């Protein structure tokens, strides 16, 4: 899977360039393709960028079982072009991640972002989102061990500000 | 559930870069993202970022990405934009009313940092065909998105050759709304000063007038409009009032709050329909917002005050009557003047028909009591839009409607999906071959049909429900099924014609048999006759009646695209511009020929000074109908 980042030139005088995101991180290594019509530059992350993770990687702040599961995914996913093999690899990793503590998953999100592996990023971000979805504020605080540093008045003000979103 | 891993995790969650945080929230709804904001200060900052809320706006799918970027320039944040879009999204779609029978179709779609309601009026096929039209439309209402994402309602209308806007509020929009109601709402004024109670209306006239000024149109300009006026929950809802009271209230309020759209601004482009120039649209929005605020700050004229005072005075009198009636029954006849006779029945027959007069007077008294109760709920009244959910039955994809509500009814969205490829909005004309009208050929009436699927008795049917008919005088009731065909069993019927007039051959894909509408027992109960639906490879549908060989040729249309190339015509007077409740079989929307400088149509049936009664059928001798001729 290749990712695309589009750079657009937004001021001819200053030659400044704005980076637009497509859910990807900002660093870019591959060569850019310039579109002369609109001055946009397209940078494609080709499959090589993610395929170099077929060698086992070391993941900081996680246990060995987790590291092994991620590496197993990378091996299986990178080894074949067949849709069924890649889907199986994703399903296996997904089942494993669902059993892990959310703190571990967030660590993995950071890892995936750092190494720019977008398949891993999608899976781990989806898991974090699933944990947050449809929970109350108190439940989210408990799950992520977040201390409430609002005063009661401040909290009420934020709730009031978002009342439109809470109405179903 | 404290653990080292979690403790580390929460810190990392807060340390995630904005764009990665946006990937996480991409799978969340606005409610969940808002919950994150409430968790703690840091998460509030993260969860409030424009990146996160731009993603949320995109997920809503209301407007394309490029429009989101433009609209963002007029609001404080993507969060504010999301707030607006979430709130108004349920309104988007096709809204209809049974009357006039030719069709009342209002399409609600995105404007410019707004939603706009545009009426497609009954018309003939344009000179450039369906796609290029131009299709005729008139403005009905707008819902503006304010800087903070809140919404303002502006109703449009025309009175005595001037265009007006009528600023109002939005009572509420149910997520699954299917009825759109124009109502009057009592409001309480929050200006920090003394609230004026309606009891004060018995004081001296000058004092009353002053109080009226403060009551009806608050002069506190320091506070925002939405903060100043707050809708109050009346114990008697507007919908429970009698038709006459509701109509009267709407008439009084619209007369009082109207803001004339200056002549120079008549060329004001209705957002997204007549221009896509961002600067022009921004300018218009600023002017409209100013007019909206001014409208709610304008002091009423003396005659308006008089009218409103009469309204309140009557309610006072009736309350007095009601009180006296209940406490001093024996001495009724001695106290009431002629003007109250209609309440208690004839004074001479009090003894004899006391029971009868009591029951008829009691229902009237109840109505009056409800009216008073309604007015008592606030100290001012205003126009409001209310999108509610009602339990509606339908017949062949057409909702069964009240005929005395100032309401529009939403047609369920029909998407062309697998298994229902033909669902959606189609337009067409009668006759084969299909073609553009020319100078020597009279115009063809344009029909709009909503195609939907229904399952009954194990059979699957495709129904073509007529929602707009461009003839001069309606042929069949609004909402009739023009055809119903059986989708389960393809037919091998052959197409009656080889090619169209231009010798174009159309590749036939499949044929279905069924029935097409025909005359039946009078207007209200049409019959049906056998016919077939021919589906062509190029997407065209043709339904032919077997016996008469009449053919209805249809093509799929996108209303938003059609309207962007359309031509605006003036709206009707207010209230009628929302729901036209006088029964009519002809084109009530085409009476303003000044906007169509190439037409020689006679004036419409909605003329100044014509008494409107709910039983009037517009069948004047001059019914050759309204011809919107085109050159």
A69 and A111 together in one domain: yes
Sign of dihedral through CA atoms A103, A108, A114, A116?
negative
Residues 6+ apart with CB under 8 A from B96: B103, B104, B105, B106, B399, B408, B409, B411, B467, B478, B479
Q: What is chain A's mean pLDDT, rounded? A: 76
A25 and B41: CB-CB below 8 Å? no
Contacts of A151 in chain B (CB under 8 A): none
| Of residues B19, B32, B40, nearest to A21 (C-beta) | B19
Model confidence over A123-165: pLDDT tens digits?
999 999 999 999 999 999 998 888 999 999 999 999 999 999 9
Shortest Cα–Cα distance, A68 to chain B (Å) = 18
Any idea which of B67-76, B182-191, B365-374, B388-397 has the lowest mean pLDDT? B182-191
Shortest Cα–Cα distance, B387 to chain A (Å) = 14
Residue B9's pLDDT is what? 53
Size of chain B, expressed as the number of residues it contains:
631
Shortest Cα–Cα distance, A131 to chain B (Å) = 10
Average pLDDT of the residues in B155-163: 91
Contacts of A150 in chain B (CB under 8 A): 38, 40-41
Any B CB within 8 A of A140 CB? yes
pLDDT value at B456 more than 90: no
Residue B107's pLDDT is what? 96
A101 and B33: CB-CB below 8 Å? no
Binding-face residues of B in 77-136 toward A, CB within 8 A: 83, 86-87
A110 and A30 together in one domain: yes
A31 and A103 together in one domain: yes
Q: What is the DSSP string of B219-279?
A: ---SS-HHHHEEE---SS-GGGS-HHHHHHHHHHHHHHH-EE--GGGGGPPPTTTS---HH
Q: What HEC string does A21-76 produce?
A: CCCCCCCCCCCEEEECCCCEEEEEECHHHHHHHHCCCCCCCCCHHHHHHHHHHHHH
Q: What HEC string does B377-411 produce?
A: CCCEEEEEEEEECCCCCEECCEECCCCCCCEEEEC
Q: What is chain B's mean pLDDT, rounded? A: 77
Contacts of A59 in chain B (CB under 8 A): none
Distance CA B589, CA B571 (A): 7
Residue B597's pLDDT is what? 33
Contacts of B8 in chain A (CB under 8 A): 61, 103, 107
Any A CB within 8 A of B494 CB? no
A72 and A143 together in one domain: no
Distance CA B89, CA B82 (A): 10
- Cα B531–Cα B96–Cα B402 angle in degrees, nearest 5: 105
Report H helices in B266-353. 278-295, 302-327, 332-335, 341-344
Output B325-328 pairs: Cβ under 8 A, ≥24 positions apart.
B325/B365
Q: Are strands B407-410 and B162-173 parallel, antiparallel or unpaired?
A: unpaired
A110 and A57 together in one domain: yes
Of chain A, the percentage scoring pLDDT greater than 70 comes to: 67
Shortest Cα–Cα distance, A13 to chain B (Å) = 23
Contact B465, B398 (CB under 8 A): yes
ipTM above 0.95, yes or no: no
Any B CB within 8 A of A22 CB? no
Closest residue in A to B20 (Cα–Cα): A23
Any B CB within 8 A of A19 CB? no
Report H helices in B4-49. 4-15, 18-25, 30-39, 41-47
Q: How many domains does chain A have?
A: 2
Average pLDDT of the residues in B389-397: 90
Residue A25's pLDDT is what? 41
- Is the model more confident about B377 or about B7? B377
Q: What is the DSSP string of B449-493?
A: EEEEEEEETTEEEEEEEEEEE-SSB-SS-TT-EEEEEEEEEE--P
Binding-face residues of A in 31-60 toward B, CB within 8 A: none
Average pLDDT of the residues in B597-617: 31
Residue B396's pLDDT is what? 85
Is residue B536 helix, strand or coil? strand
Classify residue B218 by burial, with Cβ atoms within 10 Å: 0-12, 13-18, 19+.
buried
Any idea which of B303-312, B395-404, B570-579, B604-613 has the lowest mean pLDDT? B604-613
Contacts of A133 in chain B (CB under 8 A): 27-29, 32
What's the CA dihedral at B285, B290, B292, B298 to 10 degrees? -170
Closest CA relative to residue A6, chosen from A32, B19, A119, B56 = A32
A156 and A82 together in one domain: no
- Cα B499–Cα B505–Cα B508 angle in degrees, nearest 5: 100
pLDDT value at B531 more than 90: yes
Contact B580, B121 (CB under 8 A): no
| Of residues A103, A104, A140, nearest to B35 (C-beta) | A140
Q: Which of A10, A106, A155 to mutate to test the interface with B (most CBs of B within 10 A)?
A: A106
Model confidence over B184-241: pLDDT tens digits?
998 876 543 322 223 333 333 444 344 433 443 333 333 444 445 556 666 789 999 9
Q: Which two tokens stand for residue A66?
A: 């987790």
Residue with tokens 């100043």: B228
Residue B298's pLDDT is what? 59
Q: Please report which helix (H) or strand (E) contains residue B180, including its range.
A: strand B179-189
A81 and A149 together in one domain: no
Residue A77's pLDDT is what? 85
Contact B228, B190 (CB under 8 A): yes
A106 and B9: CB-CB below 8 Å? yes
A103 and A143 together in one domain: no
A142 and B30: CB-CB below 8 Å? no
Model confidence over B111-146: pLDDT tens digits?
999 999 999 999 999 878 888 878 999 999 999 999
What's the CA dihedral at B122, B128, B131, B135 to 10 degrees? -30
Model confidence over B56-82: pLDDT tens digits?
999 999 999 999 999 999 999 999 999
Residue B361's pLDDT is what? 72
Binding-face residues of B in 30-59 toward A, CB within 8 A: 30-41, 43-44, 51
Any idea which of B44-48, B271-275, B611-615 has the lowest mean pLDDT? B611-615
Closest residue in A to B16 (Cα–Cα): A110
Average pLDDT of the residues in B102-110: 95
Binding-face residues of B in 241-270 toward A, CB within 8 A: none
A127 and A141 together in one domain: no
Structural domain including A76 reads 2-132
Any A CB within 8 A of B172 CB? no
Average pLDDT of the residues in B586-606: 48
Of chain B, the percentage scoring pLDDT greater than 70 comes to: 70
Any idea which of B233-247, B564-578, B603-617 has the lowest mean pLDDT? B603-617
A58 and A71 together in one domain: yes
A86 and A28 together in one domain: yes
Shortest Cα–Cα distance, A122 to chain B (Å) = 8
Residue B264's pLDDT is what? 59
Q: Which two tokens stand for residue A76?
A: 């299986």
Contact B332, B350 (CB under 8 A): yes
Residue B499's pLDDT is what? 63
**What's the pTM?**
0.78
Q: Which two tokens stand for residue B75?
A: 């609001």
Beta-bridge partner residues of B119: B106, B138
pLDDT value at B165 more than 80: yes
Task: Report how many Cβ contacts below 8 Å link chain A to chain B.
Answer: 139
A22 and A8 together in one domain: yes
Considering A58-62, B168-172, B506-510, the range whose residues carry the highest mean pLDDT is B168-172
């Amino acid at each position: 899977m290749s990712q695309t980042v589009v750079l657009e030139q937004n001021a001819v005088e200053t030659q400044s360039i704005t980076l637009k995101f497509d859910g990807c991180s900002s660093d870019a290594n591959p060569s850019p393709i310039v579109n002369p019509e609109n001055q946009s530059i397209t940078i494609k992350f080709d499959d090589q960028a993610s395929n170099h993770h077929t060698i086992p990687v070391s993941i900081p702040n996680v246990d060995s079982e987790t590291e092994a599961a991620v590496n197993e995914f990378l091996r299986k996913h990178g080894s074949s072009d067949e849709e069924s093999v890649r889907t199986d690899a994703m399903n296996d990793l997904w089942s494993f991640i669902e059993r892990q503590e959310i703190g571990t998953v967030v660590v993995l999100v950071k890892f995936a972002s750092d190494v720019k592996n977008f398949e891993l990023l999608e899976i781990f971000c989806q898991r974090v989102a699933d944990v947050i979805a449809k929970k109350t504020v108190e439940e989210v605080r408990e799950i992520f061990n977040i201390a409430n540093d609002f005063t009661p008045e401040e909290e009420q003000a934020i709730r009031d500000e978002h009342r439109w979103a809470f109405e179903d | 559930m404290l653990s080292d891993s979690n403790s580390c995790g929460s810190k990392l969650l807060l340390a995630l870069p904005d764009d990665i945080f946006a990937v996480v929230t991409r799978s969340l709804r606005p409610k969940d993202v808002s919950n994150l904001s409430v968790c703690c200060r840091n998460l509030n900052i993260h969860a409030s970022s424009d990146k996160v809320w731009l993603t949320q706006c995109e997920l809503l799918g209301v407007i394309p990405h490029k429009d989101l970027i433009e609209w963002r320039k007029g609001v404080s944040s993507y969060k504010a934009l999301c707030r607006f879009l979430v709130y108004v999204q349920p309104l988007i779609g096709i809204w209809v009313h049974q009357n006039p029978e030719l069709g009342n179709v209002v399409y609600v779609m995105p404007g410019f940092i707004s939603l706009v309601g545009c009426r497609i009026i009954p018309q003939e096929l344009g000179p450039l065909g369906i796609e290029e039209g131009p299709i005729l439309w008139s403005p009905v209402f707008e819902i503006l998105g304010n800087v903070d994402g809140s919404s303002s309602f502006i109703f449009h209308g025309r009175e005595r050759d001037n265009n007006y806007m009528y600023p109002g509020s939005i009572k509420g929009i149910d997520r699954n709304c299917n009825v759109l109601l124009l109502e009057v709402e009592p409001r309480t004024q929050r200006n920090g000063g003394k609230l004026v109670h309606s009891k004060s209306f018995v004081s001296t006239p000058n004092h009353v007038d002053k109080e009226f000024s403060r009551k009806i149109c608050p002069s506190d300009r320091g506070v925002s409009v939405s903060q100043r006026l707050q809708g109050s929950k009346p114990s008697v809802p507007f919908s429970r009032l009698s038709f006459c009271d509701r109509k009267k209230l709407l008439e009084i309020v619209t007369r009082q709050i109207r803001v004339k759209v200056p002549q120079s601004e008549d060329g004001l482009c209705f957002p997204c329909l007549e221009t896509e120039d961002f600067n022009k649209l921004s300018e218009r929005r600023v002017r409209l917002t100013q007019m909206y605020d001014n409208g709610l700050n304008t002091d009423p004229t003396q005659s308006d005050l008089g009218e409103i005072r009469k309204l309140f005075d009557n309610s006072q009198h009736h309350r007095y009557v009601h009180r006296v009636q209940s406490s001093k029954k024996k001495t009724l006849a001695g106290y009431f003047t002629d003007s109250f006779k209609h309440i208690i029945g004839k004074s001479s027959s009090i003894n004899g028909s006391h029971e009868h007069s009591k029951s008829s007077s009691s229902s009237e008294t109840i109505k009056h009591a409800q009216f008073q109760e309604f007015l008592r709920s606030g100290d001012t009244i205003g126009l409001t839009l209310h999108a509610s959910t009602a339990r509606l039955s339908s017949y062949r994809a057409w909702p069964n409607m009240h005929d005395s509500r100032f309401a529009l009814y939403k047609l369920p969205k029909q998407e062309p999906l697998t298994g229902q490829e033909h669902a959606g909005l189609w337009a067409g004309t009668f006759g084969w071959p299909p073609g553009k009208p020319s100078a020597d050929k009279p115009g063809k009436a344009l029909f709009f049909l909503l195609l939907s699927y229904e399952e009954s008795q194990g059979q699957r049917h495709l129904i073509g429900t007529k929602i707009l008919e461009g003839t001069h005088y309606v042929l069949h009731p609004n909402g009739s099924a023009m055809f119903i065909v059986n989708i389960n069993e393809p037919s091998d019927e052959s197409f009656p014609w080889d090619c169209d007039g231009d010798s174009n051959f159309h590749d036939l894909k499949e044929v279905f048999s069924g029935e097409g509408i025909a005359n039946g027992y009078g207007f209200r109960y049409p019959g049906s006759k056998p016919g077939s639906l021919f589906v062509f490879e190029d997407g065209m549908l043709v339904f032919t009646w077997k016996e008469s060989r009449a053919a209805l040729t249809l093509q799929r249309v996108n209303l938003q695209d059609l309207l962007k190339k359309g031509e605006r015509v003036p709206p009707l007077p207010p209230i009628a511009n929302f729901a036209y409740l006088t029964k009519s079989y002809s084109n009530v929307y085409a009476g303003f020929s000044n906007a169509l400088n190439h037409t020689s149509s006679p004036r419409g049936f909605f003329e100044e000074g014509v008494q409107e009664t709910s039983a009037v059928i517009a069948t004047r001798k001059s019914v050759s109908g309204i011809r919107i001729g085109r050159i």
